[in-house]
Amino acid sequence: MAARIKRPSVRRLLLVQFGMVCLASLLGAWSEGGPGALSALLGGAVAFLPNAFFTWRVFRYQGARHTRNIVNGFYRAEAGKFGLTAALFTLVFIAVPPSNPAFFFGAYVVTLFVHWLGPWLLRRPSHT
């Protein structure tokens, strides 16, 4: 029986990103009230949702027999992430224009910067 390959757990990374969206929304609510909170929430959602889509799609295949599928899946997930980001930006600016662009883009950038913490958040605990 072949050993099962363990997928990397990205749950902590997504939870920290979601926490940053919540923190940015609270900061917007504290500073500007409801419109600032909505702007920050929308900006964080535009960053968070495509990342969640990417993680859902990219880890569908595993193992040496599926190398081609893994590479193709990675490219498809990245293309989907890019398309979803563009669609969300378009949707937000057409349907619900942010009242405070500083909070919108600030929450977007801060949520994306959580990826810099990726190696630290995804590190597996040592068993020694």
Output 119 or 78, whichever has higher pLDDT. 78
Residue 57 corresponds to which amino acid?
A: R
List the domain boundaries for the chain: 13-116
Q: Please, how many CA atoms are within 13 Å of residue 32, restricted to the half-sphere of its CB?
A: 18
How large a percentage of the chain has pLDDT more than 70? 79
Tens of pLDDT, residues 4-18: 555 567 777 888 889
Q: Mean pLDDT in the chain?
A: 83
**25 Cα distance to chain centroid:** 16
Which positions ≥6 away from 70 have C-beta within 8 Å?
Answer: 61, 62
